[in-house]
């Protein structure tokens, strides 16, 4: 956010401008109150509760770091955390596909481009519970996915139970997440590509650059901010993944319970609020570490591509 502008029509100064005070209080007090109520107070309480052995109704006293020790000593939680690796892998595939489709739809003259864009984007607007039903149906033995695979010649005996078989079920869930968010990422990338100066492509074509070179030297540097932000969001989102396991995986049945599902169950099924808060704290710290780490990494890496981008555009200018 940019710094506030001091406005000439509402000067500060010694005399209190009561009308100004009134408008600031009247317009600002509710949003700030709600921000405190639903973000900062829960945040402070989360830190506090994580050191107590407590439920929603009873507080059995201060236990120090015990709750945190349990998070790391029980293999159940560590395993749940490792599930996010599936979702991270899925996020990488998702962003690559989104980038591929966005480049094709932006660079080439495609008949029906509007249709393809809408078709791939629409899953993003589907209600989460509806996604749960749609994919339970989709993955049921002998139903949608199996029929399609049988139609291309794979016999049913060779197919796994997509949601029950623990060697594939997490991938099945990751796919539902990819299905929902790939089109959204694609739309964002199309927007970012559209903001690149089109004369760069002309210059590159005259330079003899092919599509692949244009992609590497014009598109990638041109959309790096949007791409980076989406990558950070997807990776940190993987850490707190819960939607597929919650709606499609029947609340994390058959070894699909992600760390967030564990937190949810700890608080709302077992009623151990203190323990759940410690787990949430661990999750939050992990997310912050990943976010900061990625930002540093990209600052380091992107510096390099910044230079290639500048070099390229200088060359283009020199050519004209």
Scanning residues 151 to 210, which ones bind other proteins (CB under 8 A)?
A: 151, 179, 182-184, 187-188, 191-192
Instruction: Give the separation between CA 116 and CA 266, rounded to whole angstroms.
Output: 42
- Among residues 88, 104, 168, 231, the one that binds other proteins under rule CB under 8 A: 104
Q: Is 13 in the site for other proteins (CB under 8 A)?
A: no
| Residues written for the chain | 320
Nearer to other proteins, 130 or 253 (CB): 130
Which residues, 296 to 315, sit near other proteins by CB under 8 A? Answer: none
3-state class of 51 per DSSP? coil
In the numeric block, the tokens 């151990």 are attached to 272
The angle subtended at Cα 162 by Cα 102 and Cα 267, nearest 5°, is: 90
Which residues, 24 to 43, sit near other proteins by CB under 8 A? Answer: 24, 26-28, 30-32, 34-35, 37-43
Q: Is 235 in the site for other proteins (CB under 8 A)?
A: no
- Among residues 138, 162, 181, 298, the one that binds other proteins under rule CB under 8 A: 138
3-state class of 54 per DSSP? strand
Nearer to other proteins, 139 or 309 (CB): 139
Closest separation in Å from C-beta 153 to other proteins: 15
- Among residues 15, 16, 19, 208, the one that binds other proteins under rule CB under 8 A: 19
Instruction: Give the separation between CA 172 and CA 127, rounded to whole angstroms.
Output: 19
Contact, 259 vs 279, CB < 8 A?
yes
- Among residues 81, 219, 277, 316, the one that binds other proteins under rule CB under 8 A: 277
In the numeric block, the tokens 């049913």 are attached to 156
Residue 258 has what DSSP assignment? -
Instruction: Give the separation between CA 274 and CA 66, rounded to whole angstroms.
Output: 10
Buried b (16+ CB within 10 A) or exposed e, 232-252: bebbbbbbbbbbbbbbbbeeb
- Among residues 95, 232, 245, 257, the one that binds other proteins under rule CB under 8 A: 232
* DSSP state string for 125-181: GS-HHHHHHHHHHHHSTTSHHHHHHHHTT--GGGS--TTT-TTTHHHHHHHHHHHHH
Contact, 181 vs 124, CB < 8 A?
yes
Size of the site for other proteins (CB under 8 A): 102
Which residues, 243 to 262, sit near other proteins by CB under 8 A? Answer: 246-247, 260
Contact, 63 vs 287, CB < 8 A?
no
User: Where does this chain touch other proteins (CB under 8 A) — which range of 69-77, 85-93, 112-120, 305-313?
Assistant: 112-120
- Among residues 76, 96, 128, 306, the one that binds other proteins under rule CB under 8 A: 128
- Among residues 77, 242, 298, 309, the one that binds other proteins under rule CB under 8 A: 242
Alpha helices in 195-258 (DSSP H): 199-206, 211-214, 220-222, 224-239, 243
User: Where does this chain touch other proteins (CB under 8 A) — which range of 70-78, 130-138, 200-208, 304-312?
Assistant: 130-138
Closest separation in Å from C-beta 154 to other proteins: 14
Which of 294, 315, 320 shows the shortest CA–CA distance to 95? Answer: 294
- Among residues 78, 82, 93, 148, the one that binds other proteins under rule CB under 8 A: 148
- Among residues 258, 267, 309, 313, the one that binds other proteins under rule CB under 8 A: 267
- Among residues 62, 65, 72, 143, the one that binds other proteins under rule CB under 8 A: 143
Which residues, 58 to 97, sit near other proteins by CB under 8 A? Answer: 97
Nearer to other proteins, 118 or 307 (CB): 118
- Among residues 133, 293, 296, 306, the one that binds other proteins under rule CB under 8 A: 133
């Amino acid at each position: 956010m940019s710094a506030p502008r001091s406005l000439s029509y509402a000067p500060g100064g010694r005399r209190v401008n009561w009308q100004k005070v009134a408008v600031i209080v009247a317009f600002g007090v509710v949003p700030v109150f709600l921000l405190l109520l639903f973000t900062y107070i829960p945040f402070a309480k989360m830190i506090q509760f994580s050191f107590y052995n407590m439920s929603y109704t009873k507080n059995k006293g201060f236990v120090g770091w015990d709750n945190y020790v349990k998070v790391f000593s029980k293999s159940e939680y560590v395993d749940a955390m490792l599930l996010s690796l599936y979702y991270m892998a899925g996020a990488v595939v998702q962003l690559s596909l989104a980038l591929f489709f966005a480049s094709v739809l932006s660079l080439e003259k495609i008949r029906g481009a509007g249709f393809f864009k809408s078709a791939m984007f629409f899953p993003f607007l589907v209600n989460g519970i509806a996604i749960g039903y749609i994919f339970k149906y989709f993955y049921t033995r002998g139903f949608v996915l199996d029929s399609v695979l049988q139609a291309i010649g794979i016999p049913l005996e060779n197919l796994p139970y997509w949601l029950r078989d623990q060697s594939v079920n997490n991938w099945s869930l990751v796919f539902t997440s990819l299905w929902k968010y790939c089109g959204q990422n694609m739309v964002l990338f199309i927007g970012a590509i559209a903001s690149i100066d089109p004369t760069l492509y002309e210059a590159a074509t005259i330079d003899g650059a092919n599509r692949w070179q244009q992609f590497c030297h014009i598109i990638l540097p041109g959309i790096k901010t949007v791409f980076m932000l989406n990558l950070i969001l997807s990776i940190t989102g993987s850490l707190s993944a819960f939607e597929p396991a919650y709606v499609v995986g029947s609340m994390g049945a058959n070894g699909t319970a992600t760390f967030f599902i564990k937190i949810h169950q700890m608080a709302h099924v077992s009623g151990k609020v203190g323990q759940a808060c410690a787990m949430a704290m661990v999750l939050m710290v992990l997310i912050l570490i990943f976010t900061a780490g990625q930002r540093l990494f990209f600052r380091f890496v992107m510096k390099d591509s910044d230079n290639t981008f500048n070099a390229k555009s200088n060359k283009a200018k020199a050519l004209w």
